[in-house]
């Protein structure tokens, strides 16, 4: 059962993103970073400390940059990478130190629907990926690297057809290629489309592999667990729909299971596990009553999802959900007695609000 633990708030916000810093041996506190478009329309990064048991959330420091309309963040080991649509409508990629000091910046073409993800291979910490809609509305998938001084550099790219929503995740290694990526998009027909991509070891070559399509979709959230892929979304009937897929290294994608819920306006998701090592997918939705609701689904080895519990929050605008755990015992299946889930949302006062949750 999901239990609400702590709440923290910051100032006015509109566009939001949330990333959790997970560092082995970090100790009793974990770090979370929020990236928002603040009340002045500028990018604001905030670092938070989250207690290992989720009982407290402490605001640590802020960093302010220029005007933005969209924000996305990832943590690559201890460094923070932000990708934003800046005041001129162009993609801007920045790297930041753990203390939120900007190290480097790169500027690209006009873009929208920007998302980024790290590569799964932790030995190549200077590589990450981005996906977005270009000026013509086409999907573009890119591989980037960070120099020793933290300067972002574009390595390679590939295109697909017109899309209206974009989600991105890493699948790790594949046949004949060092990396595999997967995008979940709303295509020109309004349907969910999954596309696998391969990237060469140096990131300069990105190729489209196989894919799969499903029905009408919006508010797409994407999570990956090994070769299992989870899409959580608002289907054509306006309801929550979660589908489990298996992504094979040859590019093919098989549909395994589908679970459904009630009416939703917004969807986000996170993967975590409990003290026994059982895996869970948690969906956070803004439901038909305009309230945020968290739903816990247990993931079977076959990919089948089993509903276990749910919890609610007063009326708010959902942003993101992530999971984190402290690492006092990194050799354990679950390094902490409980996983901490963190939701970031815009509350009824248009303020950024973080809530920590644990599974009891």
- Residue predicted with more confidence, 141 or 330: 141
- At residue 192, does pLDDT exceed 50? yes
Residue 7, in any domain of the structure: no
pLDDT of residue 24: 31
Confidence of residue 289 (pLDDT cuts 50, 70, 90): confident
Instruction: List the CATH number of the domain containing 122.
Output: 2.130.10.10
pLDDT of residue 349: 83
Residue 321, in any domain of the structure: no
Which residues have CB under 8 Å from 40's CB, separation 6+?
none
Dihedral sign (CA 226, 91, 161, 267): positive
Residue 60, in any domain of the structure: yes
Lowest mean pLDDT among 58-72, 230-244, 261-275, 323-337: 323-337
pLDDT of residue 334: 44
pLDDT of residue 351: 86
Dihedral sign (CA 217, 344, 104, 222): negative
Residue 302, in any domain of the structure: no
Share of the chain above pLDDT 90, in %: 57
Residue 311, in any domain of the structure: no
Q: Are 111 and 132 in contact (CB under 8 A)?
A: yes
pLDDT of residue 332: 43
Residue 274, in any domain of the structure: no
Separation of alpha carbons 92 and 346, rounded Å: 24
- Extract the tokens encoding 97: 């130190």
> Which residue in 244, 233, 93, 79 sits closest to 165, CA to CA?
233
pLDDT one-digit tens code per residue, 37-48: 988 899 999 988
Residue 161, in any domain of the structure: yes
Separation of alpha carbons 72 and 60, rounded Å: 20
User: Which residues form the domain of 155?
Assistant: 12-265
- At residue 190, does pLDDT exceed 90? yes
How high is the mean pLDDT of the chain?
87
DSSP class of residue 147?
-
Calculate mean pLDDT across residues 185-209.
94
Could you give the number of structural domains in the chain?
1
Q: Are 266 and 341 in contact (CB under 8 A)?
A: no
The distance between the two most distant Cα atoms of the chain, rounded to a whole number of Å, is 51
pLDDT one-digit tens code per residue, 90-138: 999 999 988 899 999 999 999 999 999 987 654 556 889 999 999 999 9
pLDDT of residue 75: 82
pLDDT one-digit tens code per residue, 50-76: 887 888 899 999 999 999 999 999 887
- Residue predicted with more confidence, 28 or 99: 99
> Which residue in 287, 283, 252 sits closest to 270, CA to CA?
283
Q: Which residues pair with 117 in a beta bridge?
A: 129
Residue 355, in any domain of the structure: no
């Amino acid at each position: 059962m999901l239990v609400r633990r702590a709440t923290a708030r910051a100032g006015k916000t509109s566009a939001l993103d949330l990333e959790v810093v997970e560092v082995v041996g970090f100790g009793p506190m974990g770090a979370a970073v929020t990236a928002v478009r603040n009340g002045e329309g500028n990018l604001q990064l905030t670092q938070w400390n989250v207690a290992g048991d989720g009982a407290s959330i402490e605001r640590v420091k802020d960093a302010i940059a220029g005007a933005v309309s969209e924000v996305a963040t990832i943590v690559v080991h201890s460094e923070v990478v932000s990708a934003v649509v800046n005041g001129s409508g162009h993609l801007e990629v920045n790297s930041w130190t753990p203390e939120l000091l900007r190290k480097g910046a790169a500027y690209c073409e006009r873009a929208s629907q920007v998302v980024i993800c790290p590569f799964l291979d932790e030995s190549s910490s200077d590589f990450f990926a981005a996906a977005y809609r270009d000026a013509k509305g086409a999907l573009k998938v890119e591989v980037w690297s960070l120099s020793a001084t933290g300067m972002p550099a574009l390595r390679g790219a590939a295109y697909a057809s017109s899309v209206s929503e974009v989600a991105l995740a890493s699948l790790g290694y594949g046949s004949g290629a060092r990396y595999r990526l997967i995008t979940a998009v709303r295509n020109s027909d309004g349907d969910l489309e999954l596309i696998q991509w391969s990237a060469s070891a140096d990131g300069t070559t990105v190729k489209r592999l196989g894919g799969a399509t499903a029905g009408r979709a919006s508010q797409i959230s994407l999570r990956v667990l090994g070769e299992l892929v989870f899409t959580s979304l608002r289907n054509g009937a306006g309801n929550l729909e979660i589908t489990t897929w298996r992504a094979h290294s040859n590019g093919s994608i098989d549909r395994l299971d589908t679970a459904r819920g009630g009416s939703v306006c917004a969807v986000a998701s996170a993967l975590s596990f409990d003290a026994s090592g059982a895996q869970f997918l948690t969906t956070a939705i803004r439901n038909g009553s305009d309230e945020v609701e968290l739903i816990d689904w247990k993931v079977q080895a076959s990919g089948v999802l089993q509903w276990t519990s749910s919890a609610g929050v007063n009326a708010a605008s959902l942003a993101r959900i992530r999971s984190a755990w402290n690492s006092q015992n990194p050799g354990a299946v679950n390094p902490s007695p409980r996983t901490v889930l963190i939701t970031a949302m815009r509350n009824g006062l248009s303020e950024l609000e973080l809530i920590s949750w644990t599974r009891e």
